[in-house]
Structure 1
Amino acid sequence: MDMIELDGVAGGGQLLRTALSLALCTGTAFTMRNIRATRSRPGLLRQHLTAVQAAAAIGNARVHGAELGATSIRFEPGDVAPGDYNFALGTAGSTMLVLQTLLPALWHAGGSSRLRLEGGTHNPMAPSADFIADTFLPVLARMGVRATLSLERPGFYPAGGGAVDVVVEPCASMSQLVLDTRGPLESIEATVLLSALEASIGRRELAVLAERFDLPEDRQHFRSVRPAIGPGNALMVRVQHASHAETFTGHGERGVPAEVVAERLARQARAYLDATTACVGEHLADQLLLPMALAGGGSFTTHVASDHLRTNATLIQKFVEVDIDVLPVDDAAWRVVVTG
């Protein structure tokens, strides 16, 4: 079995998750050292360890060194087996990051799979369940991947306790996708998700977002979590253009006024809206490289070419024979081209 030597010092958990996904899809083993070495808490946290363990479970892999705090592991994949799987983080760590690790291997498997993931669903340092359901999976569907996500129960930091159910169908072949233009703006909607907190907090957040984006009542949504497992607050702005939808997520913080939380989210969405020549948002751009590489090509424009995107591109090219070019379009956009 081929073995790739990787150094994780240039990135965080995303590099490990990408390596796990591609190892399962290509049958290539890897060792990674210096995992999250520059972070305040280096090595594997619970969500990273769960991703490793889950990847090993669905891919019949042999793993060496996987434990909390470990800064190096060896991962030797076997055959990916479709089936019914249940993975619980035991913390408020992100279930969505575990899901993104497993998805490519499962859509390459020979049958349908069902996943139940328990833990955090709306985390400040990870894509939210709403982003995955409303932005990421619809883009994958345009590439031929059939997967659905149902949010059974939201989970927030620090209590966790969330649960999602995901169904993934096999994908015999993927289509290459070009996301160069977003088309005319069709709608903007704001949603507040609140658990075990005063309803007035969510109302104040919605008021700010309604003012910033001139939203009518039917574009403002309030979701209360019942029964509540612990306090939590997330807010989303969904921007629908004719050819693409983006979901932006903000998170309430203890001691930070609701208005400040909403203003931060509004600025994030506004930065995307003002970059009129870019189709894809910053976070989706990071996540599209891997499926496009597996599809053998594709391209998109984005308003931010992040360090995450560039380091992820370098790692992907160690597993898959593709070229990934990041080219300036103008002062407000980049074009990312994946060529097989």
Structure 2
Amino acid sequence: MTTIHTPDPILIDGSAGEGGGQMLRSALTMAMLTGRPFAMEKIRAGRRRSGLLRQHLTCVRAATAICNAEVEGATLGSQSLRFTPGDLQGGDFRFEVGSAGSAMLVLQTVLLPLALGGQPATLSISGGTHNPAAPPFEFIARTYLKVLREAGLTIKAELRRPGFMPAGGGEVFVQFSSTHDRPGVVQDPHTYEAIAPSPAFNLRARGALLDASLEALIAHIPTSIAEREIATFLSAAPPLPDPTLGWSSRVLRHDASPGPGNALIATLNFEHVSEVFFIPGQKGVSAEAVAERLADELRTYLGHDAPVGEHLTDQLLVVLAALGRGRFRCGPLSSHARTQLELLPRFTGREFEVSARGDGTFDLGLESE
């Protein structure tokens, strides 16, 4: 009889660094990809509502289903979790957050393992799709998936119904194709080999600006709110890098959404990268304030020449860790990014190269072994 050795779990202090749900999501992603178990304590200990909330539990349950994991501590409010992954598998998966919690954060948790697992799969997630403090669907579809397509992955995403807080009820559908030329991942829970290198990923320039678009999403609220947001943004937005280009704008009504909601989204589509900027409308916040906040985010990004913005940086570090090599240039490092730089090497055994540039931007990378 053969005895299978399971290594000791990686011990993670969930209150360290940014101390939020991203640590849990990144740990789940890397555990699925590398086969390394982990034990996390003090999950979200510094947050007003500490421990696992519904959207975090949905992340855990989704990861468990996708890799046949063994899990301890997956209960509402728990500050401790032990996760031992099994083999990645394809199939048709459906998960419900059960509240207005972000469906997009659940998607980010399982997207890379499903894409790199080498088996066809479909994924349906219901919950919030345009939440504060979470990426909207458009960021995933236009920004994140564009990068993954450049890395050789075939993924299609569809917004079937938007969900705004507090009602939620949105739905996204994602299809993963099985192709022979995609980057591979070695995920062996018995030997725990490193992830196999893929063709190098390199994103250090934006390229030419191709177009700029502005969208005001509304559901069950007056169109005049969206019109005020658009007018204010167009007067407050910083100049575009190409003065010959202007903003295209439109109002999108989504009255199929279960509840009222609003979001203002700006997209800069460059030759090598697309960046999406997003501010959700909230009760008590004027349309003008929403638009001015969005203009400020755009101004920050256009204040440097790095192609990768703050939120994409957090996700591309996981992509680099998963693909095994590559490099990209980003703006100033947030607390989330610095936490990723500490956490991810614990699963791969490889430290990132971090090079500060004189203008406040950074080059981040991994070289093939």
Aligned partner of 1:130 in structure 2 is 138
Report whether the alignment pairs 1:284 with 2:312. Answer: yes
Aligned partner of 2:11 in structure 1 is 5
Partner SS for 2:77: coil
CA distance in 1, matches of 2:313, 2:334: 9
Report whether the alignment pairs 1:258 with 2:287. Answer: yes
Shift of residue 172, structure 1, vs aligned partner: 4.2
Report whether the alignment pairs 1:193 with 2:221. Answer: no
Match of 2:51 among 43, 47, 60: 43
Partner SS for 1:40: coil
Partner SS for 1:106: helix
Deviates more, 1:221-230 or 1:45-54: 221-230
Deviates more, 1:210-219 or 1:164-173: 210-219
Matches within 5 A, 1:1-340: 1-2=6-7, 3-10=9-16, 11-170=19-178, 171-173=182-184, 174-213=198-237, 219-276=248-305, 278-340=306-368
CA distance in 2, matches of 1:270, 1:218: 15
What is the identity percentage for the equivalent residue pairs of Structure 1 and Structure 2?
A: 44
Shift of residue 217, structure 1, vs aligned partner: 8.8
Are the equivalent residues in 2 in contact too, given 1:210–1:220 (CA < 8 A)? no
Higher helix share: 1
CA distance in 2, matches of 1:182, 1:240: 9
CA distance in 2, matches of 1:204, 1:17: 37
Tell me the amino acid that sits aligned with residue 241 of structure 1: F
CA distance in 2, matches of 1:218, 1:272: 17
Unaligned 5+ segments in structure 2 are: 1-5, 185-197
CA distance in 1, matches of 2:257, 2:344: 40
Tell me the amino acid that sits aligned with residue 148 of structure 2: L
Aligned residues: 339
TM-score scaled by length of structure 2: 0.89
Unaligned 5+ segments in structure 1 are: none
For the structure 1 residues 253 and 244, does the alpha-carbon distance in structure 2 shift closer, same or farther, using more than 3 Å as the test? same
Are the equivalent residues in 1 in contact too, given 2:304–2:359 (CA < 8 A)? no
Are the equivalent residues in 2 in contact too, given 1:296–1:322 (CA < 8 A)? no
CA distance in 1, matches of 2:334, 2:200: 23
Shift of residue 185, structure 1, vs aligned partner: 2.4
Aligned partner of 2:190 in structure 1 is none
Shift of residue 337, structure 1, vs aligned partner: 1.8
Tell me the amino acid that sits aligned with residue 80 of structure 1: L
CA distance in 2, matches of 1:169, 1:309: 30
CA distance in 2, matches of 1:142, 1:103: 15
Deviates more, 1:224-233 or 1:54-63: 224-233
CA distance in 2, matches of 1:108, 1:142: 14
Are the equivalent residues in 2 in contact too, given 1:150–1:165 (CA < 8 A)? yes
Tell me the amino acid that sits aligned with residue 56 of structure 2: H
Deviations 1:17-69 (A, max 9, x none): 11111111111111000111111111101100000011001111110011111
Deviates more, 1:181-190 or 1:43-52: 181-190
Are the equivalent residues in 1 in contact too, given 2:215–2:264 (CA < 8 A)? yes
Higher relative contact order (CA 8 A, sep 6+): 2
Shift of residue 339, structure 1, vs aligned partner: 2.9
Shift of residue 70, structure 1, vs aligned partner: 0.5
Aligned partner of 2:188 in structure 1 is none
Deviations 1:213-238 (A, max 9, x none): 47999710110012241111111100
CA distance in 2, matches of 1:197, 1:181: 40
CA distance in 1, matches of 2:333, 2:257: 38
Shift of residue 321, structure 1, vs aligned partner: 2.7
CA distance in 1, matches of 2:210, 2:253: 27
Tell me the amino acid that sits aligned with residue 314 of structure 1: E
Deviations 1:255-298 (A, max 9, x none): 1110011100111011101212x110000001101111111111
TM-score scaled by length of structure 1: 0.96
Are the equivalent residues in 2 in contact too, given 1:93–1:160 (CA < 8 A)? yes
Are the equivalent residues in 2 in contact too, given 1:322–1:339 (CA < 8 A)? no
Partner SS for 2:250: strand
Partner SS for 2:352: strand
